[in-house]
Amino acid sequence: MKIRVLNASLEVIQGDITEVDVEALVTPANNHLWMGGGVAGIVKSKGGEGIEKEAVKQGPVKIGSAVMTTGGALKVRHVIHAAAMGQDLKASEESIRTSTQAGLRLAEEKGIRSLALPAIATGAGGFSPYVCAKIMLEETIEFLTNTQTVRQILFVLFDQKTYDIFKEELGKMFSSGPK
């Protein structure tokens, strides 16, 4: 599902975030920026341990913040590490909201034009994909109404269930019928 928000596009797709054609991708992170399991583990295994080493040098960081590294061996030039969790790997509505905002702001500051995001903290973090979809889509749509640089955002969801949840939530936000 793809929608336009002013001069940018927002699309929800199912797939592997490490395989999409964008300048940068966001990976969920803990505040020490270690890349263990979930999306971060896949990014590290496909992109190389250098991504994690570069990230860890910038940590620890405050939960709700984000840092950027190179993309290593990935197709993307940059990886944005959105710290939505502490070392306990627990996320909250607030940490998902603030880390999403931080990741989007960092992309804008660094002149990124295309960006891919996963469902932050719904895998290793165990957070509800329903609540995550609502928070992340709200923040992304708000961001796109003010961005000067970012022109394409993809939500890349690995499994069918999470993809369906994000697609449904985006549909609700842009439906023209009664709520």
- Three-class SS state of 73: coil
Say if 179 falls within a structural domain.
no
Say if 178 falls within a structural domain.
no
Half-sphere exposure of 103 (CA within 13 A, CB side): 33
- Three-class SS state of 164: helix
Say if 124 falls within a structural domain.
yes
Overall pTM > 0.85: yes
pLDDT digits (tens, 9 = 90+) for 81-126: 999 999 888 999 999 999 999 999 999 999 999 999 999 999 888 8
**Bridge partners of residue 67, in order along the sequence:** 81
Say if 42 falls within a structural domain.
yes
Say if 31 falls within a structural domain.
yes
Say if 89 falls within a structural domain.
yes
Q: Give DSSP secondary structure letters for 18-63.
A: GGS-SSEEEEEEETT----SHHHHHHHHHH-HHHHHHHHTT-S--T
Inter-CA distances, 20 with 14, 26, 162, Å: 10, 12, 17
Q: How many domains does the chain have?
A: 1
Q: φ, ψ for residue 127 (rounded to 5)?
A: -80, 150
Say if 117 falls within a structural domain.
yes
CATH code of the domain containing 80? 3.40.220.10
Binned at pLDDT 50, 70 and 90, residue 131 comes out as: very high
Q: Which domain holds residue 68?
A: 2-173
Say what percent of the chain tops pLDDT 70: 98
d(CA 143, CA 161): 26
Query: CA nearest 131: which of 91, 102, 171?
Result: 91
User: Exposure string (b/e) for 159-168, b if CB count within 10 Å is 16 or more?
Assistant: eeebbebbbe
Binned at pLDDT 50, 70 and 90, residue 178 comes out as: very low
Say if 131 falls within a structural domain.
yes
pLDDT at residue 78 tops 50: yes
pLDDT at residue 179 tops 50: no
